[in-house]
Amino acid sequence: MNESPLFVRTYDFLLWFIPQVQKFPRVYRFTLSERLQRLALDFQDGIVAAGKSQGVTRLEKLKSADIQLEQLRVWVRFARDNQLITVKQYEHAARGMAEMGRLLGAWLKKP
């Protein structure tokens, strides 16, 4: 699992992303920051669990991870719209999430 491109991309994304959202102002730190961190970490947990699963269970875990990634996209956009992250940070996050989405989509299509 550690060699999976999706795992590696997600891990790298988390290394960059978590410190960014921890810098949010105090008013957002225990709401939006916490939510973003939880979604990102749950997505990582989901792909690890899917890598260790088989059959229907794997498919369910991958679909759940896909939903979490979509939710993460929405909340990152919300953070940008509230000027909690810069346009450059948003672009970086969007590129990372798009890459993770492509890799996840390829895994979902795999028999």
Q: CB pairs under 8 A, 24+ apart, for 55-63? A: 59/108, 62/104, 62/107, 62/108, 63/108
47-62 mean pLDDT: 92
In order of their start, the domains of the chain are 5-109 (1.20.1440.60)
Structure tokens at 82: 């509230």
Residue 2 has pLDDT above 90, yes or no: no
Where residue 90 falls among pLDDT bands split at 50, 70, 90?
very high
Q: What is the pLDDT of residue 3?
A: 76
Residue written as tokens 């916490």? 34
Structure tokens at 27: 């008013």
Q: What is the pLDDT of residue 45?
A: 96
Q: What is the pLDDT of residue 110?
A: 82
Structure tokens at 30: 């225990």
